[in-house]
C-alpha cells in the first residue's frame, strides 16, 4: 500500500469512527446538561463550593462566575509553580521564574497551553499532575459550560437565565471529561505511554554513553490534554515524544480524542434546540472546513515543495518515522483546527504552504470544529453573522433559530469576531516593529515573520502550538502572549454570554416558508464561505508577506 493510500485510510477511519461516536456522545452530553438530577458526588462538591445547584444565573452572573473561577485558577497555578521547590515530587526543580509562571498559568487556564518552558527540565510531577493537568480538565469544562449557556440562549425563550456555571462545570468534569480521559489514558499506557511517579534515572547505553530516562504520570495527562483540546505536553517534544505518543495507533487515538468532543457538541446543540437538523448543519460546516484543511495540509506535505524538502525529497524534517509525513500532517490539521496545539511533528519545519494551512486553521477562529465548547459557540456566532447578511437577502429581518439579529446582537457578534484578529494583528505588528522581539526569530526572512505571526495567532486563538523556533522565553513574549491568551479567551466568552443573554430574552419568530432555512446544504455552504472569506480578507496581507512570500517561487 502506498503512503498516500494509507494516509487516506487513516483519515477515513477517523471520520467513520467520529460519525459513529458523535451521536451517543452528543446525546450523553445533552442528557448531562439538561438533567435535573444531581449525583451524590456532585451534591457533595456543591456543598463544599457553597452554591445552590438549582439556582440559575443570568448572563452577567454566569460570566462573573467564569471569570472568578479563572482568576482564582491563574493565581493557584501561578502559586503552585512558584512554590514548586518546597513541595513534593519536585524532582529537584526549583520555583518557576515569574515571567514563565505567569505565562504558563494564563496559558493553561485559557485552554491555550502555549509552552514557554520545556516540561522535562522545568516542571516536577506535582505541578504537572496537580496543577497543569487540573487546568486541562477545568479549562475544557469552562469551554463546554459556556457553550451550553450559549446554546440555552438560543433554545430558551423569554428568560434571562442561562443555567448555573458551577453545575455545568462540575458535570462537564465528572460526567464527560473524567470517564473518557480515564479510558483514553489506559489505552495510551497499553500502547507504551508511561504512567509512574518515578524520578529520572540514568542508564548506560549500548555504546557506553549515558542516557537519562524520564518518568512521570504522562498517560493520564496526555489523555486529557487531547480530549480537552489543551495541548500542553508533558515534554517539550509534546506528542512527538515516544513516551507521550508511542505508536502509530496511539497517534490515531490521540487525534480521535482531540476531535471527539468538538465534533459531538453540535449534536448536543441540535438536541437542546429541539431540531437535530440544526446540529447536523453546524457539524457539516465544521466537517467541510476540516476536511478541506486536512486535504490541503496532506497534499502540501506530501508534495513537499520548497528548497529543503525538495533536497530531502520529502517533508520529513521534524516528523517521527513511526507516524510518517501524512499522519503527522493529519495530526497537525486536527490540532490546529481545534484549539489543541499539541504537536506530533514540528510545524516550523513544514513546507511553506503546509505551514500556511496550520496558520489558516487557527485564523479561522478555531471553529472547525474548534476547542471543546469554544468551537461550538464560535461557530454559532459565525452562523449568526452569516444569517445576518444572508437573511437580508431573503427580504426579512434576519433571525437564527427564530431569534432576531438586531443591533444589539450584531454588535456583540461583530465584537466577538473582531477581538481575536485584532489581537493577532496588533500583537504581530508590535512585535515586528521592535528590534528585541524580532531578535527572537530562529529563522530569517518571511519564515521568521511567520514564526511571530504564528505565535500571536496561536495565543489569541488559544491554540498553543508554535512555530517553535521562536524563542519565547523572553519577558516581551511571556507578557505579550500572556495578554493575548487572556484577552483572546475571556473577551469572546463575555461577549458570547452577553449575546446568549440577549437571545434568551426574545420570543422566537415561528419559521415559515419565508424564513431562511438554516439546516440545508445551502446554509452550510454559506457559513463555510463567509468564514473563509472573512479570514482570508483579514489575514491576506500578513500571509502574503509570510508563508506565501516564502512558498511561491
Partner 1 sequence: MLTSTLPASAPAALRKLDPRFMWRNPVMFVVEIGAAWTTVMAVLDPSAFAVLITTWLWLTVIFANLAEAVAEGRGKAQADTLRRTRKATTARRLTDAGEETVAAAELRRGDLVVVEAGQVIPGDGDVIEGIASVDESAITGESAPVIRESGGDRSAVTGGTRVLSDRIVVRITQRPGESFMDRMIALVEGASRRKTPNEIALTILLAALTIIFLVAIASMQPLAIYSVANSPGVEGGFALGSHGVTGLVLVSLVVCLIPTTIGALLSAIGIAGMDRLVQRNVLAMSGRAVEAAGDVDTLLLDKTGTITLGDRRASEFIPVGGTTGAELADAAQLSSLADETPEGRSIVVHAKEAYGLRERHAGALTHAAWVPFTAQTRMSGVDVDGRRLRKGASGAVTDWVRGQGGEVPSALADVVDRVSASGGTPLVVAAAENGDVRVLGVVHLKDAVKAGMRERFDRMRAMGIRTVMVTGDNRLTAKAIADEAGVDDFLAEARPEDKLSLVRAEQAGGRLVAMTGDGANDAPALAQADVGVAMNTGTSAAKEAGNMVDLDSDPTKLIEIVEIGKQLLITRGALTTFSIANDVAKYFAIIPALFVALFPGLDALNVMRLSSPQSAILSAVVFNALIIVALIPLALRGVRYRPSSASRLLNRNLLVYGVGGVVAPFAGIKIIDLVVQLVPGMQ
Partner 2 sequence: MKPLLAALRAVLVLTAVCGVLYPLAVTAVAQVPGLKDHANGSPVSVNGRGVGSELIGQSFSDADGRPLRRYFQSRPSAAGDGYDPTATSASNLGPEDIVDRDGEPSLLSTVCARSRAVGELEGVDGSRPYCTGSGVGAVLSVRPDRVTSVNEPCPAAPFVAEYRGVKVECATPGQDPRAGRIVPVRGAAPADPAVPADAVTASGSGLDPHISVAYAELQARRVAAARGVPVGAVRALIDEETTGRALGFMGEPVVNVLRLNIALDRAAPRRG
Residues from 459 through 498 that contact partner 1 (CB under 8 A)? none
Q: Which secondary structure element, helix H or strand E, spans residue 202, and what is its range?
A: strand 201-204
Q: Which CB sits closer to partner 1, 194 or 452?
A: 452
Q: Which does 287 bind (CB under 5 to 8 A by kind): partner 2, partner 1, none?
A: none
- Minimum Å distance from CB 550 to partner 1? 8
- Minimum Å distance from CB 219 to partner 2? 6
Helices (H), 156-247: 165-171, 178-191, 218-227
- Minimum Å distance from CB 538 to partner 2? 24
User: Do residues 113 and 85 touch, judged by C-beta distance below 8 A?
Assistant: no
Q: What is the DSSP string of 308-367?
A: HHHHHTS--TT--TTTHHHHHHHHHHHHHHTT----SS-GGGS-HHHHHHHHHHHHTTST
Q: Which does 391 bind (CB under 5 to 8 A by kind): partner 1, partner 2, none?
A: partner 1
Q: Which CB sits closer to partner 1, 47 or 408?
A: 408
- Minimum Å distance from CB 33 to partner 2? 18
Burial class (CB in 10 A: 0-12, 13-18, 19+), 282: buried
Cα diameter, the chain: 78
> Cβ contacts of residue 286 below 8 Å, gap of 6+?
262, 263, 266, 367, 368, 369, 370, 375, 379
Q: Which CB sits closer to partner 1, 71 or 533?
A: 533
Instruction: Give the residue among 300, 254, 282, 486 at the shortest CA–CA distance from 379.
Output: 282
Q: Which among 170-178, 322-330, 369-377, 520-528 is the span making contact with partner 1, rule CB under 8 A?
A: 520-528
Q: Which does 514 bind (CB under 5 to 8 A by kind): partner 2, partner 1, none?
A: partner 1
> Look-up: residue for cell 419568530?
509
Q: Which does 97 bind (CB under 5 to 8 A by kind): partner 1, partner 2, none?
A: none
Q: Which CB sits closer to partner 1, 284 or 372?
A: 284
Q: Which among 59-67, 99-107, 356-364, 381-389 is the span making contact with partner 1, rule CB under 8 A?
A: 381-389
Single out the residue of 418, 473, 479, 483 in contact with partner 1 (rule: CB under 8 A).
Answer: 418
- Minimum Å distance from CB 313 to partner 2? 5
Q: Which does 544 bind (CB under 5 to 8 A by kind): partner 2, partner 1, none?
A: partner 1
User: Do residues 437 and 476 touch, judged by C-beta distance below 8 A?
Assistant: yes
> Look-up: residue for cell 499522519?
327
Contact code string over 388-407 relative to partner 1, x by CB under 8 A: xxxxxxxxxx----x--xxx
Q: Which CB sits closer to partner 1, 95 or 529?
A: 529
- Minimum Å distance from CB 403 to partner 1? 10
Q: Which CB sits closer to partner 1, 51 or 426?
A: 426
Alpha-carbon distance of 444 to 294, in angstroms, equals: 28
- Minimum Å distance from CB 9 to partner 2? 4
Instruction: Centre a 10 Å sphere on the Cβ of residue 34 and count the other Cβ atoms it contains.
Output: 14
Q: Which does 474 bind (CB under 5 to 8 A by kind): partner 1, partner 2, none?
A: none
Single out the residue of 216, 421, 482, 492 in contact with partner 1 (rule: CB under 8 A).
Answer: 421
Backbone φ, ψ for residue 245 (5° rounding): -145, 80
Instruction: Centre a 10 Å sphere on the Cβ of residue 213 and count the other Cβ atoms it contains.
Output: 11
Q: Which CB sits closer to partner 2, 324 or 508?
A: 324
The reply to whether 385 sits near partner 1 by the rule CB under 8 A is yes
- Minimum Å distance from CB 193 to partner 2? 7
User: Do residues 286 and 270 touch, judged by C-beta distance below 8 A?
Assistant: no
The number of C-alpha atoms within 13 Å of 481 and in the hemisphere containing its C-beta is: 37
Q: Which CB sits closer to partner 1, 179 or 517?
A: 517
Alpha-carbon distance of 289 to 531, in angstroms, equals: 9
Q: Which does 43 bind (CB under 5 to 8 A by kind): partner 1, partner 2, none?
A: none
Backbone φ, ψ for residue 129 (5° rounding): -90, -30
Q: Which CB sits closer to partner 2, 212 or 397?
A: 212
User: Do residues 545 and 452 touch, judged by C-beta distance below 8 A?
Assistant: no
As a whole number of Å, the end-to-end CA separation of the chain is 33
Binding site for partner 1 (CB under 8 A): 385, 388-397, 402, 405-407, 409-411, 414-415, 417-418, 421-422, 425-426, 428-430, 432-433, 438, 444-446, 448-449, 507-510, 512-517, 520, 522, 526, 529, 533, 536-542, 544-546, 548-549, 551-553
Amino acid at each position: 500500500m502506498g503512503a498516500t493510500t494509507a494516509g487516506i485510510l487513516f483519515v477515513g477511519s477517523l471520520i467513520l469512527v467520529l460519525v459513529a461516536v458523535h451521536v451517543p456522545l452528543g446525546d450523553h452530553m445533552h442528557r448531562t446538561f439538561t438533567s435535573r438530577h444531581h449525583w451524590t458526588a456532585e451534591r457533595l462538591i456543591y456543598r463544599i463550593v457553597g452554591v445552590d445547584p438549582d439556582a440559575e444565573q443570568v448572563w452577567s452572573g454566569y460570566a462573573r462566575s467564569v471569570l472568578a473561577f479563572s482568576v482564582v485558577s491563574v493565581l493557584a497555578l501561578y502559586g503552585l509553580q512558584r512554590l514548586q521547590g518546597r513541595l513534593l515530587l519536585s524532582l529537584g526543580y526549583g520555583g518557576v521564574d515569574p515571567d514563565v509562571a505567569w505565562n504558563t498559568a494564563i496559558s493553561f487556564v485559557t485552554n491555550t497551553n502555549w509552552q514557554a518552558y520545556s516540561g522535562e527540565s522545568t516542571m516536577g510531577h506535582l505541578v504537572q499532575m496537580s496543577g497543569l493537568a487540573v487546568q486541562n480538565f477545568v479549562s475544557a469544562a469552562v469551554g463546554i459550560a459556556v457553550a451550553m449557556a450559549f446554546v440555552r440562549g438560543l433554545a430558551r425563550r423569554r428568560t434571562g437565565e442561562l443555567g448555573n456555571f458551577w453545575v455545568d462545570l462540575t458535570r462537564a468534569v465528572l460526567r464527560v471529561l473524567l470517564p473518557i480521559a480515564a479510558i483514553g489514558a489506559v489505552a495510551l499506557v497499553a500502547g507504551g505511554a508511561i504512567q509512574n511517579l518515578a524520578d529520572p534515572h540514568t542508564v548506560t547505553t549500548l555504546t557506553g554513553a549515558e542516557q537519562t530516562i524520564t518518568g512521570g504520570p504522562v498517560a493520564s495527562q496526555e489523555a486529557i490534554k487531547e480530549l480537552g483540546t489543551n495541548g500542553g505536553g508533558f515534554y517539550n517534544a509534546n506528542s512527538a515524544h515516544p513516551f507521550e505518543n508511542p505508536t502509530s495507533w496511539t497517534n490515531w487515538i490521540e487525534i480521535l480524542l482531540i476531535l471527539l468532543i468538538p465534533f459531538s457538541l453540535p449534536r448536543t446543540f441540535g438536541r437542546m434546540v429541539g431540531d437535530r437538523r440544526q446540529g447536523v448543519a453546524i457539524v457539516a460546516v465544521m466537517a467541510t472546513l476540516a476536511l478541506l484543511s486536512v486535504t490541503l495540509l496532506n497534499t502540501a506535505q506530501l508534495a513537499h515543495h520548497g528548497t529543503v524538502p525538495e533536497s530531502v525529497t520529502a517533508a520529513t524534517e521534524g516528523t517521527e518515522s513511526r507516524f510518517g509525513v501524512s499522519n503527522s500532517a493529519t495530526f497537525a490539521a486536527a490540532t490546529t483546527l481545534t484549539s489543541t496545539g499539541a504537536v506530533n511533528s514540528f510545524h516550523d519545519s513544514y513546507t511553506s504552504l503546509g505551514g500556511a494551512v496550520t496558520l489558516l486553521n487557527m485564523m479561522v477562529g478555531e471553529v472547525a470544529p474548534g476547542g471543546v465548547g469554544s468551537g461550538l459557540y464560535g461557530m454559532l456566532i459565525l452562523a449568526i453573522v452569516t444569517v445576518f447578511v444572508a437573511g437580508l437577502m431573503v427580504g426579512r429581518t434576519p433571525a437564527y433559530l427564530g431569534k432576531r439579529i438586531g443591533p444589539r446582537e450584531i454588535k456583540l457578534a461583530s465584537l466577538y469576531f473582531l477581538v481575536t484578529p485584532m489581537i493577532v494583528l496588533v500583537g504581530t505588528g508590535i512585535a515586528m516593529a521592535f528590534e528585541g522581539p524580532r531578535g527572537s526569530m530562529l529563522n530569517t526572512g518571511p519564515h521568521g515573520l511567520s514564526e511571530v505571526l504564528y505565535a500571536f495567532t496561536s495565543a489569541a486563538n488559544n491554540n498553543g502550538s508554535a512555530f517553535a523556533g521562536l524563542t519565547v522565553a523572553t519577558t516581551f513574549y511571556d507578557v505579550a502572549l500572556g495578554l493575548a491568551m487572556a484577552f483572546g479567551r475571556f473577551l469572546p466568552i463575555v461577549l458570547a454570554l452577553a449575546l446568549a443573554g440577549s437571545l434568551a430574552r426574545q420570543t422566537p419568530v415561528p419559521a415559515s416558508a419565508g424564513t431562511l432555512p438554516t439546516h440545508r446544504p445551502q446554509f452550510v455552504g454559506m457559513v463555510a464561505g463567509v468564514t473563509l472569506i472573512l479570514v482570508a480578507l483579514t489575514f491576506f496581507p500578513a500571509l502574503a508577506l509570510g508563508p506565501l512570500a516564502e512558498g511561491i517561487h
